[in-house]
Amino acid sequence: MQAFAQVTAPQHTRYSRVVQQLGQSPTAIVERIVRQAPPQDAQVVAQSERGAFAGGFSGPSQNTLTIEDLAEHIVEEDPAHLSTRFSEDFVYQTLPDTVLWNRPVQVIAIRARTNAAQPVQYARYYLDQETVVAIYIERVRRTLFFSENTRYYLQIRPHKSGAWVPYHAHVYTELALPLRPVRRLGRTTTLYGYGALTTAGAAP
**pLDDT, average across residues 26-47:** 87
- What average pLDDT does the chain have? 82
136: amino acid identity, one letter:
Y
Per-residue pLDDT tens for 120-161?
999 999 999 888 899 999 998 888 788 889 999 999 999 888
197, part of any domain:
no
Query: What SS3 state is found at 139?
Result: strand
Distance of alpha carbon 175 from alpha carbon 56, whole angstroms = 8
Rounded to 5 degrees, what angle do the CA atoms 103, 105, 108 make? Answer: 170
Percentages of the chain per state (helix, strand, coil), in multiples of 5:
10, 55, 35
* Distance, CA of 161 to chain centre: 24
Query: What SS3 state is found at 33?
Result: strand
What is the value of pTM for the model shown?
A: 0.82
Let me know how long the chain is: 204
**pLDDT, average across residues 112-124:** 92
Distance of alpha carbon 108 from alpha carbon 86, whole angstroms = 17
Closest by CA position to 160, among listed 11, 60, 29: 11
Pairing of strands 90-100, 43-51: unpaired
User: Does 96 sit behind a cis peptide bond, omega within 30 degrees of 0 on the bond before it?
Assistant: no
Confidence of residue 62 (pLDDT cuts 50, 70, 90): very low
127, part of any domain:
yes
Domain count, the chain: 1
204, part of any domain:
no
Full residue range of the structural domain in which residue 85 is found = 2-192
Edge-first strand order for the sheet with 43-51 is 43-51, 25-36, 12-22, 183-192, 164-176, 147-158, 131-142, 120-128, 103-112, 90-100
55, part of any domain:
yes
154: amino acid identity, one letter:
L
Confidence of residue 176 (pLDDT cuts 50, 70, 90): confident
Evaluate if residue 77 carries a pLDDT over 80.
no
54-86 burial code (b ≥16 CB/10 A, e <16): eeebebbebeebbbbbbbbbbbeeebbbeeeee
58, part of any domain:
yes
Query: What SS3 state is found at 138?
Result: strand
203, part of any domain:
no
200, part of any domain:
no
User: Is the dihedral angle over the CA atoms 180, 140, 72, 103 positive or is it negative?
Assistant: negative
Confidence of residue 89 (pLDDT cuts 50, 70, 90): very high
198, part of any domain:
no
